[in-house]
Amino acid sequence: MTQACLSVKNLTMAYGDNLIQRDLNFTVNRGDIFIIMGGSGCGKSTLLRHLIGLQAPAQGDIYYGEQNFCLASESERRQLLQGTGVLFQSGALLSSMTLAENVALPLTESTQLSKSKIREIVAYKLALVGLAGFENYYPAQISGGMQKRAGLARAMALDPAILFFDEPLAGLDPITSKRLDDLILRLRDSLSATVVIVTHELASIFAIGNNSVFLDPETKTMIASGPPKQVLAESNDPKVINFLTRGRTPQQQPGVGYE
């Protein structure tokens, strides 16, 4: 039986009088790799910022399990967010800190663990993302793909139940992108985590997503939801079909996933 991990109910997002999206309703189930997709300017990253409390809804509610995140007290919100990890688009590593120091930051700020225990956890998290031995490197000394993996290690530092990724493949070549997608799948399975990803990368959407929501910048609401392959197979909306095929006919399609 599926269990709701995160629910959005009648959500409207706006900047002042500027409506971004309205009437959003969807559920992220435990263990999902949930894709937030849609064309440029539709509000994908804005939705993620609402889900992690960086922006307040104009209307509607967000639930973590049974708890209304929007109505929670500041201390309740902090407790809920301790069960999450976030990988921002740039990786958002602190350039003046080593990779080990970056990954250790959530642990030093949110726990009372000893320095030796924190070093042990940091080494383990970096090893999980293939960066064993890079503890003392600075972000500028490693590649963009390695920076993303280091950011992922930091997002996992507190063993979160939910991981949020904002365009994790932005700026990466196809081979590095595939490796990062494979890593996300392995981590979801090994850590029993739920993953919410903002992305426009078609190969990634089909390769790892098992649930999704499609945001439309013109009607300013969601116009499709469900497993990406099912959305493509069943949708009659030209916007959805064009986005998920990049305008190719079925005969031109190289297949869903990586070429």
pLDDT given for residue 163 in this prediction: 94
Residue 102 falls within a domain, yes or no? no
pLDDT at 1 over 90: no
> Any residues with CB less than 8 A from the CB of 84 and at least 6 apart, and which?
52, 160, 161, 162, 163, 164
pLDDT given for residue 179 in this prediction: 86
* The model's pTM: 0.88
Residue 78 falls within a domain, yes or no? yes
Residue 99, burial from CB neighbour count under 10 angstroms (0-12, 13-18, 19+): buried
pLDDT given for residue 91 in this prediction: 66
pLDDT given for residue 173 in this prediction: 85
pLDDT given for residue 90 in this prediction: 65
Do 214 and 242 touch, CB atoms closer than 8 A?
Answer: no
pLDDT given for residue 89 in this prediction: 72
Query: Which residue shows structure tokens 């956890």?
Result: 121
> How do residues 47-102 score in pLDDT, each as one tens digit?
999 999 999 999 999 999 999 999 999 999 989 998 999 988 766 799 999 999 99
Residue 66 falls within a domain, yes or no? yes
Enclosing domain of residue 68: 1-83+161-171+196-249
pLDDT at 251 over 50: no
What value does the mean pLDDT take over residues 146-163? 91
pLDDT given for residue 176 in this prediction: 82
Angle between helices 144-155 and 174-191 (to 10 degrees): 10
Residue 222 falls within a domain, yes or no? yes
Residue 105 falls within a domain, yes or no? no
Residue 14 falls within a domain, yes or no? yes
Supply the CATH number for residue 5's domain: 3.40.50.300
Residue 239 falls within a domain, yes or no? yes
**CA–CA separation, 228 and 233 (whole Å):** 9
CA distances from 217 to 38, 51, 118, 221, 228 (A): 8, 19, 44, 7, 19
Question: For the chain, how many structural domains are there in total?
Answer: 1
pLDDT given for residue 248 in this prediction: 66
pLDDT given for residue 72 in this prediction: 95
pLDDT given for residue 135 in this prediction: 96
Residue 149 falls within a domain, yes or no? no
> How do residues 219-237 score in pLDDT, each as one tens digit?
999 999 999 999 999 999 9
pLDDT given for residue 254 in this prediction: 44
- Residue 155 is encoded by which pair of tokens? 């997002």
